[in-house]
Amino acid sequence: MEIPSKIIFVDNETKKVFEKLKQSKGEHREIYKWLVKAFAAIEQNAFCGIQIPKRLIPSEYIKKYKIHSLWKYNLPNSWRLLYSIESDEEITISIILGWLDHKEYNRRFKY
């Protein structure tokens, strides 16, 4: 079942970093394009990513963002988009937490 969602950024800093990518060149511009496509997919279906088991969610995410779920969306070149999903009876919101390369993802999740 597909559940549409509204995309928001977890904070203004994350939104600014994303907007800065739009003006970039090279790899950063590519990351921007990947994120735009990922956001469109998540807007269409909030659950299109892969849910991270609760026991594997880094405690820093729980403390800092007060999230209850964590999802990853695989981007090209081993980049990962991390987001959380919140909903009430009327709307589902996908909260963009950030994106990172494979090396940083492994370090953050202690793989």
Phi, psi of 81 (to 5 degrees): -105, 130
Question: Is residue 19 within 8 Å of 9, Cβ to Cβ?
Answer: no
- What is the DSSP secondary structure assignment for residue 36, as one 8-state letter? H
- What is the DSSP secondary structure assignment for residue 89, as one 8-state letter? S
Where are the domains positioned within the chain? Answer: 6-108
- pTM for this prediction: 0.94
Q: pLDDT tens digits, residue range 45-69?
A: 999 999 999 999 999 999 999 999 9
Give the CATH fold of the 6-108 domain: YaeB-like fold (3.30.2310)
> Which SS3 state, helix, strand or coil, does residue 73 take?
strand
Q: pLDDT tens digits, residue range 93-107?
A: 999 999 999 999 999
- Rounded Cα distance, 25 and 51, in Å: 31
